[in-house]
Structure 1
């Protein structure tokens, strides 16, 4: 007589174990300027997911924002959003998944929307006690008072779309001509542009994992090789930058950046995984908060997987931990 025992999704039968696979939707692409980066991240994620554990359901969203939502009517145990920018990372896709009552990894609707808005995130950071660069927000169609801007901010001025990542549309400008050109370029990618006074220093970044119990990965220092700063080319071209992990910085700076990252992670309401970026100005020995990414890249050159590797987790194991935490805490 055959006997079977149900043990939390696994079925033991006649001493042979048949494991019920976790149905995992991997959602990628999207209509933002970071579409290509999302495809690269998704390719890496799908390649490294354990096929013995997961029944993977890839869901691609086109550049025009088109996709087959009816797929979400299937029974999905967990959705993993591997996308960046507009619609993918700003709370819109998260809200759709919630409407289908689908559990998903990474930050919820409110935290995603807030973190996507760099200007509002900096207000939260300032209220949390973190240092930020002086800045202004300019909206499309607004009359540009160049004289007022120059009175408020000194060159070099950083110009970047307010709701986009991967340094898409971002520039550092040193004079009026570069400023006007940079402003036009930034408005190509969004209706709001953030202007910031450039802070010289070493660029440091740290990833935080978890929900109720947080783990902080090693601090990474970013040194661009082919650009003067960590722009799109430096981020995604082969050998475009050098990531030093753990960062060779004094222990007190390591502790401070980890503490600051935890503060902004909790203040924004992030969960599962996020990466906070900072500049350490050695001259005045201050850390300046730049931004927080609620869905960090997952390509071979991406920072969070590299930091996880230094902490002892290859990408396959790193993904397992994220998925396990997401399922358990839901």
Structure 2
């Protein structure tokens, strides 16, 4: 599996996404079971990843006998759904803006059409990193210290090293990890993904992911980049750039803490279906820091949630069906 570079992604955004294409049915499969409308593609920077995720999902649903219609989501998706609401359920395979920021769930709630993955509340709490930080503060959950920086004031109170993140993007798009020896700082950040960014203190440690399905933590997995400083966009979606470690070397205290925090956030956000949470574990402090949640985790061949599910005996097709069975409206 190989994905375009970030520069190619940006070029595609300007040529395709800015054109605001209309929604179009790309595939249709007959089946004896429920009629499923799969939403993929879309208008975000993650449209290509969404299509890779949907490929496996569609194949599984078709093989299991569901009637499947696949739609590449465009600017007119609300009108499209109003005119094409004669489906039993929507499988939301969108990633990024519009798909996982609460927009699609809001539309589907209004027409009472059940959909997979989390609703409006959880989507907003998970997608907007500044909102996530506020939620964690309210719940007493430890996160790295952070501050907001905008395009008109490119400065930060943090000393090197620190991390720069767009407040509303997924797949590590726009994330920079900056060290003192780098020929780069917040002053060089291009704010391509929005006029406001989040700057966090850098926490050295192991990047650990939990997968939660229907409120139950299935397990945890560590990702360890081979060439990069962190688990960035290219590393996530390219074979051979990261180790996926199943036997995670952390203390039992912090393993239990990660499970507890994952369950607590899942419940508070009112999530449904599958969710992935990210942590950094610092062994010197024996402490785990919550980083963020993903209410629409990938279903690609390299994605973490299907891998964790497989670790506990849930194969890909079963995972797809369990996500489908969790569908509902807010």
TM-score, normalised with respect to structure 1: 0.85
**Distance of 2:188 and 2:41 partners within structure 1:** 26
Q: Contact between 2:32 and 2:67, CA under 8 Å: does it hold in 1?
A: no
- Deviation, 1:139, is 3.3
Q: Contact between 1:121 and 1:268, CA under 8 Å: does it hold in 2?
A: no
* 3-state SS in 2 of match to 1:111: helix
Where does residue 178 of structure 2 map in the other structure?
173
**Distance of 2:144 and 2:128 partners within structure 1:** 16
Where does residue 130 of structure 2 map in the other structure?
119
**Distance of 1:117 and 1:307 partners within structure 2:** 25
Where does residue 11 of structure 1 map in the other structure?
none
**Distance of 1:137 and 1:90 partners within structure 2:** 19
Where does residue 55 of structure 2 map in the other structure?
43
Where does residue 143 of structure 2 map in the other structure?
132
Superimposed CA distance per residue, residues 68-99 of structure 1 (whole angstroms, 9 cap, x where no aligned partner): 84355241111111111111110111111122
Larger mean Cα displacement after TM superposition, 307-316 or 129-138:
129-138
Where does residue 321 of structure 1 map in the other structure?
322
- Where do 5+ consecutive residues of structure 2 fail to align? 1-30
Change (3 A) 1:322 1:193: same
Q: Contact between 1:26 and 1:79, CA under 8 Å: does it hold in 2?
A: yes
- Deviation, 1:52, is 3.9
Q: Contact between 2:145 and 2:200, CA under 8 Å: does it hold in 1?
A: yes
In the alignment, is residue 273 of structure 1 matched against residue 285 of structure 2? no
**Distance of 2:188 and 2:240 partners within structure 1:** 25
Q: Contact between 1:206 and 1:219, CA under 8 Å: does it hold in 2?
A: yes
Q: Contact between 1:218 and 1:245, CA under 8 Å: does it hold in 2?
A: no
Q: For residues 257-272 of structure 1, what are the structure 2 equivalents within 5 Å?
A: 257-272=258-273
Where does residue 253 of structure 2 map in the other structure?
252
Change (3 A) 1:269 1:117: same
Aligned residue pair count: 298
User: Between Structure 1 and Structure 2, whose CA radius of gyration is higher?
Assistant: 1
Where does residue 8 of structure 2 map in the other structure?
none
* 3-state SS in 1 of match to 2:53: helix
**Distance of 1:272 and 1:205 partners within structure 2:** 16
- Where do 5+ consecutive residues of structure 1 fail to align? 1-18
Change (3 A) 1:47 1:226: farther
* 3-state SS in 1 of match to 2:219: coil
Aligned-CA RMSD value: 2.0
- Deviation, 1:246, is 4.2
Where does residue 86 of structure 2 map in the other structure?
75
Q: For residues 183-262 of structure 1, what are the structure 2 equivalents within 5 Å?
A: 183-184=189-190, 187-210=191-214, 214-262=215-263
In the alignment, is residue 107 of structure 1 matched against residue 118 of structure 2? yes
- Deviation, 1:276, is 0.7
Where does residue 8 of structure 1 map in the other structure?
none
- Deviation, 1:162, is 0.6
Q: Contact between 1:246 and 1:310, CA under 8 Å: does it hold in 2?
A: no
Where does residue 40 of structure 2 map in the other structure?
28
**Distance of 2:209 and 2:147 partners within structure 1:** 23
* 3-state SS in 2 of match to 1:43: helix
Q: Contact between 1:115 and 1:292, CA under 8 Å: does it hold in 2?
A: yes
Change (3 A) 1:52 1:294: closer
* 3-state SS in 2 of match to 1:317: helix
* 3-state SS in 2 of match to 1:138: strand
**Distance of 1:52 and 1:41 partners within structure 2:** 17
TM-score, normalised with respect to structure 2: 0.85
Q: For residues 303-314 of structure 1, what are the structure 2 equivalents within 5 Å?
A: 303-314=304-315
- Deviation, 1:267, is 2.0
